[in-house]
């Protein structure tokens, strides 16, 4: 059967560019008739016949996936094929969707040829027009065109499309994403004039030494008897196709300055509109250069995803993605792991992004056969693979934004890649090739890895990495590999809370020229909202036997495209302008092509978080790669208390992706401060009934040693807390590299508190306890020391690990090398739900993800402090908090001061509730607000697919002391 053979398609036209043409067109998007059958043999036999009735069929929206419109259900696997591996055979249960669309040809529709074009159908289809078969096609994320002219009729026409979810092509489409069948991209019918244009190939280079442009536009006219002209009015050009011309001065295209020139190719019967960007891509001296300069990718891997529509993304959504990327300083996209909707690439040209366009090819699931039968190494599959590369390159070749072609993802090694590389080099010698998984890099112009630990990255940067086994026997190939530039095509797995360590990676990228940057995995969480649901689903939510759980919920955006804290962090880490200081203030232009003249630099001075002065800096023109010293602003006021100077680089005027005033970068510096205030005289302890004692504003229970009342509020006293609801990164990858199992082995998830002594002194209360899990010898001796001064109550906590922390063999291997957190937890009445604080904010921050946190005064409700991770886990900590005030609507509440700072977390549920929840809807507010006041938390890392937190961010068990002071709310 056609869906199981190794023929990429039948009856299709030769692949060609996606063109904006003047030829008449009708969109066949919209409502179609639809019928789903369990398999091909159950499907009706006469679907194509115009006389067959379809009035009992349902309606389906095209473009769309039937599994997101109430038929069958979506499936998510990471690497596993959700059917037996028996290439090229498909399972008997091969959901088959018949689609019928009646349409009317307009009266003035030109007679003659017409092209029926499908931009994307997943995964294999057959098409009939008015009962006549036009052909078949595979390759889900690629266009297919059929000659429709001979079968079109005036007036009413019937288009029938049979789509099979599984096909031989599915073996090449094992990307880590939902399996989503259907006609998910546009369908059009376009008239194809005999004196029109078939294809266009723009070659537009830029000579950075002379500033000259070079242009040649190749054109294939439908009939060689007719010629065409290439017009670029802005440059006064009127060229013959294939004619090469040098233009003395053009403005080049770059992701920073995406200058495009409008052009047209005019044949007698058809005009095609083009946008030309002049740029020259080269590999020189082991580096990728554009227009003579090495570039640094500050990239993301982008899947097409919409929480309701899956991969049927709208143009507005594509634009929204790119606007968000530009607003967050991202300059590059890897179209992981297939060519995107063609309109997306137009937007990349327009808004300015470097693009690695990736072939729709991944055979990852063959890891489960130990790569036996991997199509990539079986010549019988070469036509199926080459077809995909050709259709991508032909479709996308005219986009200046595309600087690299990727042969595919995660398909191991295989000789067929040689065919893809050879064909592409011949067809488009002007762009380098990329393929990561073949460690010989024979068919790649880049050395590349994924999720590489930092030490390894340092070795690669300095070209001292070990020789891979694949090139060990071949010195020539090894020498070639070693001379290649390096791109980290995936890193910083943004699953759940994280990634940690972005700043550390960026530092290393910037240190070594060979490292040309990286692409964070990944842009958006693939959570889906099914009709009527309020929680996003992921793998396993349908009771599937094989699934990838929430491994596809690993983006910098939440499924609804709200930026996550990880994106805010990335924006700060990759800012194209760096401000350092304060004395001297230095502004560094980290861009490769543009000056900073599009920015305005403002400053603000704050004392204790309150603005006291503000102004604008005068900054000279700073060339790319250069920096300038700027004098400290004149109008600084000074004053008692903590003083901060914040410098912001904002857009001076509107850009297509953000309005004037949008903040691009910032720097913050502490200025010299005056000495702090001496505390009041201390208070005495006073008996308060039978088993209670009062100390300043606090009342304690003498048996438990816990604080039960604070400034008139009923509280459940602070106790040591070492636990957090594990993050995806704490959980590691499928039980691999997971710090959580160490924590559990040490019993940190089940600590019990034993009070050993409650010592009432004249001016202090000391509570001694041992905090330890059942069944183990280890524990933590904890001493709480309470003193009061005026209306304030101070708690200082000493912790001392006790017995058994060293694993077998004593000091050789600790049972547990880190603690999730170190601090105290207490409960307040639920009405206390408003928080003001002075410290780091506005968003959450952790030891290795804290660049975006800046010192200031902030306020939020307890609900607003939560970060809505699709799978609930530790979140919402605010760092460097000097003081926080928690209050109810009436102004009752408590103030907490750090010594000097603490980390603040407040939520309506406990860490244990958070840990149990699998979806956000599982979180139910309790009648308390739980407050964590921490000295520290363990770093985040990105071990869900990558390294753990770096050693400097590990919260190692050890003796520690910290303190906080509770007091009344400040007036006003």
Instruction: Extract the tokens encoding 612.
Output: 């006291």
Instruction: Using the minimum distance from each CB to ligand IPT, give the nearer residue, 295 or 495.
Output: 495
Residue 541: which residues within 8 A CB-CB, separation 6 or more?
none
Distance CA 646, CA 634 (A): 14
CB of 255 to ligand IPT, least distance (A): 23
**Is omega for the bond preceding 575 within 30 degrees of 0, making it cis?**
no
Residues 465-494 that bind ligand IPT (CB under 6 A): 490, 493
Q: Does the footprint of ligand IPT cover residue 910 (CB under 6 A)?
A: no
Distance CA 788, CA 697 (A): 8
Set 410, 600, 605, 606: catalytic member = 410
Q: Does the footprint of ligand IPT cover residue 438 (CB under 6 A)?
A: no
Set 307, 358, 362, 490: catalytic member = 490
Answer yes or no: 885 catalytic. no
Interaction pattern, residues 643-682, with ligand IPT; x per rule: CB under 6 A: ----------------------------------------
Distance CA 200, CA 241 (A): 9
Instruction: Using the minimum distance from each CB to ligand IPT, give the nearer residue, 520 or 758.
Output: 520
CB of 362 to ligand IPT, least distance (A): 7
Residue 86: which residues within 8 A CB-CB, separation 6 or more?
none
Using N-to-C axis directions, what is the helix angle for 502-511 and 454-461, rounded to 10°? Answer: 10
Distance CA 47, CA 49 (A): 6
CB of 105 to ligand IPT, least distance (A): 43
Answer yes or no: 490 catalytic. yes
Q: Does the footprint of ligand IPT cover residue 304 (CB under 6 A)?
A: no
Instruction: Using the minimum distance from each CB to ligand IPT, give the nearer residue, 493 or 724.
Output: 493
- SS3 assignment, position 742: helix
CA distances to 780, 816, 822 from 801, in Å: 4, 12, 12
Q: Does the footprint of ligand IPT cover residue 851 (CB under 6 A)?
A: no
Q: Does the footprint of ligand IPT cover residue 945 (CB under 6 A)?
A: yes
* Furthest C-alpha separation in the chain: 108
Instruction: Using the minimum distance from each CB to ligand IPT, give the nearer residue, 27 or 736.
Output: 736
Q: Does the footprint of ligand IPT cover residue 729 (CB under 6 A)?
A: no
CB of 79 to ligand IPT, least distance (A): 7
CB of 738 to ligand IPT, least distance (A): 15
- Helix ranges, 370-491 (H): 382-396, 416-427, 454-461, 475-482
Instruction: Extract the tokens encoding 161.
Output: 């499309």
Q: How many residues bind ligand IPT (CB under 6 A)?
A: 14
Using CB positions, name the residue nearest to ligand IPT.
176
When computed from its CA atoms, the radius of gyration of the chain, rounded to whole angstroms, is: 32
Considering only residues 446, 551, 909, 953, which one is a binding residue for ligand IPT as defined by CB under 6 A? 551
Considering only residues 176, 321, 445, 569, which one is a binding residue for ligand IPT as defined by CB under 6 A? 176
- SS3 assignment, position 115: strand
CB of 281 to ligand IPT, least distance (A): 24
**Of 398, 445, 409, which is closest to residue 425 (Cα–Cα)?**
445
Residue 267 and residue 259 in contact, taking contact as beta carbons nearer than 8 Å: no
Residues 392-421 that bind ligand IPT (CB under 6 A): 409-410
Interaction pattern, residues 132-171, with ligand IPT; x per rule: CB under 6 A: ----------------------------------------
Q: Does the footprint of ligand IPT cover residue 521 (CB under 6 A)?
A: yes
Instruction: Using the minimum distance from each CB to ligand IPT, give the nearer residue, 291 or 550.
Output: 550
Instruction: Using the minimum distance from each CB to ligand IPT, give the nearer residue, 172 or 901.
Output: 172
Instruction: Using the minimum distance from each CB to ligand IPT, give the nearer residue, 734 or 777.
Output: 734
Residues linked to residue 298 through DSSP beta bridges, in sequence order: 518
Instruction: Using the minimum distance from each CB to ligand IPT, give the nearer residue, 175 or 818.
Output: 175
Q: Does the footprint of ligand IPT cover residue 515 (CB under 6 A)?
A: no
Residue 212 and residue 245 in contact, taking contact as beta carbons nearer than 8 Å: no
CB of 82 to ligand IPT, least distance (A): 15
Q: Which helix (H) or strand (E) holds 197?
A: strand 197-207
Strand 792-802, strand 779-789: pairing: antiparallel
Instruction: Using the minimum distance from each CB to ligand IPT, give the nearer residue, 56 or 370.
Output: 370
Considering only residues 122, 357, 396, 554, which one is a binding residue for ligand IPT as defined by CB under 6 A? 554
Residue 123 and residue 180 in contact, taking contact as beta carbons nearer than 8 Å: no
Residue 798: which residues within 8 A CB-CB, separation 6 or more?
782, 783, 785, 959, 960, 961
Instruction: Extract the tokens encoding 678.
Output: 């001496």
CB of 30 to ligand IPT, least distance (A): 33
- Helix ranges, 539-684 (H): 565-573
Instruction: Using the minimum distance from each CB to ligand IPT, give the nearer residue, 904 or 945.
Output: 945
Residue 121 and residue 184 in contact, taking contact as beta carbons nearer than 8 Å: yes
Instruction: Extract the tokens encoding 223.
Output: 């009939």
Question: If you ran DSSP here, which 8-state letter would residue 915 be given?
Answer: H
Considering only residues 21, 77, 78, 271, which one is a binding residue for ligand IPT as defined by CB under 6 A? 78
Interaction pattern, residues 332-371, with ligand IPT; x per rule: CB under 6 A: -----x----------------------------------
Residue 27 neighbours by CB distance under 10 Å: 11
Catalytic residues: 410, 490
Interface contacts to ligand IPT, rule CB under 6 A: 78, 175-176, 337, 409-410, 450-451, 490, 493, 521, 551, 554, 945
């Amino acid at each position: 059967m056609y869906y199981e053979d190794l023929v990429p398609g039948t009856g299709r036209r030769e692949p060609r560019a996606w063109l904006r043409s003047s030829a008449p067109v009708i969109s066949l998007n919209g409502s179609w008739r639809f019928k789903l059958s369990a398999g091909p043999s159950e499907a009706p036999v006469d679907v194509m016949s115009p006389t067959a009735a379809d009035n009992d069929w349902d309606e389906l929206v095209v473009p769309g996936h039937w599994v997101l419109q109430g038929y069958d259900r979506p499936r998510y696997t990471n690497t596993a094929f959700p059917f037996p591996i028996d290439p090229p055979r498909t399972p008997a249960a091969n959901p088959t969707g018949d689609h019928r669309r009646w349409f009317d040809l307009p009266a003035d529709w030109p007679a003659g040829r017409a092209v029926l074009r499908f931009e994307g159908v997943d995964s294999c289809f057959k098409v009939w027009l008015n009962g006549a078969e036009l052909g078949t096609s595979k390759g889900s994320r690629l266009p297919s065109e059929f000659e429709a002219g001979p079968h079109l009729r005036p007036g009413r026409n019937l288009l029938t499309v049979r789509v099979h979810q599984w096909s031989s092509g599915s073996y090449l489409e094992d990307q880590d994403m939902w399996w989503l069948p259907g006609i998910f991209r546009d369908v059009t019918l376009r008239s194809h004039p005999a004196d029109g244009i078939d294809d266009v190939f723009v070659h537009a280079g830029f000579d950075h030494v002379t500033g000259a442009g070079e242009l040649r536009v190749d054109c294939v006219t439908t009939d060689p008897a007719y010629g065409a002209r290439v017009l670029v009015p802005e440059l006064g050009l009127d060229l013959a196709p294939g004619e090469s011309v040098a233009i003395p001065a053009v403005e080049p295209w770059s992701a920073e300055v995406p200058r495009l020139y409008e052009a047209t190719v005019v044949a007698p019967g058809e005009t095609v509109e083009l946008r030309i960007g002049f740029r020259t891509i080269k590999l020189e001296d082991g580096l990728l250069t554009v227009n003579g300069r090495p570039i640094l990718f500050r990239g993301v891997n982008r899947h097409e995803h919409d929480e309701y529509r899956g991969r049927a993304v709208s143009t507005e959504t594509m634009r929204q993605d790119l606007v968000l990327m530009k607003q967050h300083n991202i300059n590059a996209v890897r179209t992981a792991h297939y060519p995107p909707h063609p309109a997306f690439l137009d937007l990349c040209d327009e808004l300015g992004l470097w693009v690695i366009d990736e072939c729709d090819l991944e055979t990852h699931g063959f890891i489960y056969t130990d790569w036996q039968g991997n199509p990539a190494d079986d010549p019988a599959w070469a036509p199926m693979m080459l077809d995909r590369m050709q259709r991508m390159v032909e479709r996308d070749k005219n986009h200046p934004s595309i600087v690299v072609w990727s042969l595919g993802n995660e398909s191991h090694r295989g000789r067929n890649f040689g065919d893809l590389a050879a064909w592409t080099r011949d067809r488009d010698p002007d762009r380098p090739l990329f393929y990561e998984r073949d460690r010989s890099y024979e068919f790649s112009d880049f050395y590349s890895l994924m999720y590489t630990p930092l030490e390894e990255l340092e070795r690669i940067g300095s070209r001292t990495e070990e020789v891979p086994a694949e090139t060990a026997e071949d010195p020539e190939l090894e020498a070639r590999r070693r001379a290649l530039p390096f791109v980290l095509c995936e890193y910083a797995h943004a699953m759940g809370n994280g990634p940690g360590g972005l700043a550390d990676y960026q530092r290393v990228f910037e240190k070594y020229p060979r490292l040309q940057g990286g692409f964070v995995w990944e842009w958006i969480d693939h959570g889906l909202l099914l009709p009527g649901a309020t929680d996003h689903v992921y793998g396993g939510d349908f009771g599937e036997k094989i699934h990838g759980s929430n491994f596809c919920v690993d983006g910098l955006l939440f499924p609804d495209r709200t930026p996550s804290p990880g994106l805010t962090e990335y924006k700060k880490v990759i800012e194209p302008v760096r401000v350092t200081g304060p004395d001297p203030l230095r502004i560094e232009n980290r861009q490769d092509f543009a000056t900073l003249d599009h920015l305005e630099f403002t400053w603000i001075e704050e004392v204790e978080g309150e603005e006291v002065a503000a102004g604008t800096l005068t900054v000279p023109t700073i060339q790319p790669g250069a920096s300038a010293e700027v004098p400290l602003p004149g109008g600084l006021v000074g004053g008692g208390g903590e003083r901060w100077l914040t410098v912001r680089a904002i857009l001076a005027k509107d850009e297509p992706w953000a309005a004037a005033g949008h903040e691009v970068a910032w720097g913050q510096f502490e200025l010299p401060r005056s000495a702090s205030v001496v505390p009041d005289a201390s208070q005495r302890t006073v008996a308060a009934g039978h088993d209670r004692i009062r100390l300043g504003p606090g009342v304690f229970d003498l048996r438990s040693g816990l604080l039960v009342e604070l400034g008139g509020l009923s509280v459940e006293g602070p106790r040591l807390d070492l636990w957090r609801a594990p993050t995806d990164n704490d959980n590691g990858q499928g039980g691999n590299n997971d710090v959580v199992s160490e924590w559990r082995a040490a019993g940190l998830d089940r600590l019990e508190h034993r009070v050993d002594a409650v010592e009432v002194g004249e001016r202090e209360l000391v509570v001694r306890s041992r905090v330890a899990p059942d069944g183990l010898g280890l524990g933590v001796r904890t001493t709480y020391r309470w003193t009061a001064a005026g209306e304030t109550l101070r708690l200082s906590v000493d912790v001392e690990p006790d017995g058994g922390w060293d694993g077998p063999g004593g000091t050789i291997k600790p049972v547990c090398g880190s603690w999730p957190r170190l601090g105290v937890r207490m409960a307040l009445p639920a009405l206390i739900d408003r928080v003001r604080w002075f410290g780091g904010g506005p968003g959450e921050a952790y030891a290795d993800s804290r660049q975006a946190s800046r010192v200031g005064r902030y306020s939020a409700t307890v609900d607003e402090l939560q970060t809505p991770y699709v799978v609930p886990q530790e979140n919402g900590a605010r760092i460097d908090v000097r003081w926080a005030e928690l209050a109810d609507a009436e102004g009752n509440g408590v103030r907490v001061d750090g010594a000097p700072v603490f980390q603040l977390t407040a939520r309506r549920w406990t860490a244990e509730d958070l840990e149990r929840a699998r979806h956000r809807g599982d979180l139910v507010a309790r009648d308390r607000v739980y407050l964590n006041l921490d000295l520290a938390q363990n770093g985040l890392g990105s071990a869900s697919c990558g390294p753990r937190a770096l050693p400097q961010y590990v919260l190692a068990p050890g003796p520690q002391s910290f303190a906080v002071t509770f007091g009344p709310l400040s007036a006003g």
